[in-house]
Amino acid sequence: MRIDVVTIFPEYLSALDVSLIGKARRDGLLEIHVHDLRDHTVDRHRTVDDTPYGGGAGMVMKPEPWALALESIAEAGRSAGLGRPVLLVPTPSGELFRQSVAQELSAADHLVVACGRYEGIDERLFHWARELFEVRLVSLGDYVLNGGEVAALAMIEAIGRLVPGVVGNPESLVEESHSDGLLEYPVYTKPSSWRGHEVPDVLLSGDHGRVAAWRREQQLERTRRRRPDLLPDPAAD
Ligand code: 6GU
């Protein structure tokens, strides 16, 4: 998978050099390019923002530097024989980025992430971009970050780890929170007694059937307590 990230803070994305995603890049499983949006400005001050029409607080990102950056990236993908790219736009006004979205996006061969700052990007950019990209505006949740960079890191990690080969043991992708719509069961390691806290007996029993049933119960109980919104609505028929 090829991933291009466009930002005015390229150094923010240096986290993509380390850990699992860093290794996947070195192994050639993920090809990640980070671009400075200001390299696609044409004025002496390398301006990327301006005041909003209609008034209001803050600044809006100008569409033209984005169009120039995205055109050159789309062309690079086309030259490399990649399919229609997905333009992923982290924004608190997007659809919720959930595991199912990560799953869908992990099947793409070219992902382009547009990290906005300030009050956002001129809306016309997204309409223009539909010609070249499948456009998806996505939010991490109901809170506000200063820009798309931290969200982009989270999304790239969630998507990248689903690309075959990136996670060494594919079994670890099956038994984890959200993979089956429920939260993960609690986990324990040695020692079995630690500072007066014990590992549940069933996990020491060696009875795989009982362990599996207990874990399922724990998943349902945790989800009911912490995230009832994930369970089917009992009021629905
Ligand atoms: Cl994707 N972007 C920003 N700026 N803030 C957010 C977010 C995204 N998701 C939650 N808050």
* Residues 66-86 pLDDT 10s: 999 999 999 999 999 999 999
Query: Would the CB of 181 count as within 6 Å of ligand 1?
Result: no
Ligand 1 atom having least distance to the Cα of 90: 1
Ligand 1 center from residue 63 Cα (angstroms): 20
**Residue found by looking up tokens 């109901």 in the block:** 142
Ligand 1 center from residue 134 Cα (angstroms): 20
Distant-in-sequence contacts of 180-184, Cβ < 8 A, 24+ apart = 181/230, 182/219, 182/220, 182/222, 182/223, 182/230, 183/219, 183/222, 183/223, 183/226, 183/227, 183/230, 184/219, 184/222
Closest CA to 10 of 108, 125, 147, 126: 147
Query: Would the CB of 145 count as within 6 Å of ligand 1?
Result: yes
Ligand 1 center from residue 117 Cα (angstroms): 10
Rounded to two decimals, the pTM is 0.95
Query: Would the CB of 139 count as within 6 Å of ligand 1?
Result: yes
Query: Would the CB of 147 count as within 6 Å of ligand 1?
Result: yes
Decide: helix, strand or coil at residue 31.
strand
Ligand 1 center from residue 196 Cα (angstroms): 41
Ligand 1 center from residue 140 Cα (angstroms): 6
Query: Would the CB of 92 count as within 6 Å of ligand 1?
Result: yes
Task: Return the structure tokens found at 105.
Answer: 């996006």
pLDDT in tens, the chain (237 residues): 999 999 999 999 999 999 999 999 999 999 999 999 999 999 999 999 999 999 999 999 999 999 999 999 999 999 999 999 999 999 999 999 999 999 999 999 999 999 998 799 999 999 999 999 999 999 999 999 999 999 999 999 999 999 999 998 888 888 788 878 999 999 999 999 999 999 999 999 999 999 999 999 999 999 999 999 999 988 887
Query: Would the CB of 91 count as within 6 Å of ligand 1?
Result: yes
Decide: helix, strand or coil at residue 35.
strand
d(CA 21, CA 17): 7
Task: Return the structure tokens found at 165.
Answer: 């080969």
**Residue found by looking up tokens 């090809």 in the block:** 31
Query: Which mutation among 144, 153, 156 tests ligand 1's pocket best, with the greatest number of atoms within 8 A of CB?
Result: 144
Ligand 1 center from residue 52 Cα (angstroms): 20
Note the pLDDT of residue 219.
97
Cis peptide bond N-terminal to 191, omega within 30: yes
**Residue found by looking up tokens 């992923």 in the block:** 88
Note the pLDDT of residue 179.
77
Q: Using CA positions, which residue lies closest to atom 8 of ligand 1?
A: 91
Task: Return the structure tokens found at 96.
Answer: 């919720």
Note the pLDDT of residue 177.
80
Q: In what order do the strands lie in the sheet with 2-7?
A: 31-36, 2-7, 110-114, 86-96, 134-139
Spatial neighbors of 91 by CB under 8 A, at least 6 apart, are 116, 120, 137, 138, 139, 148
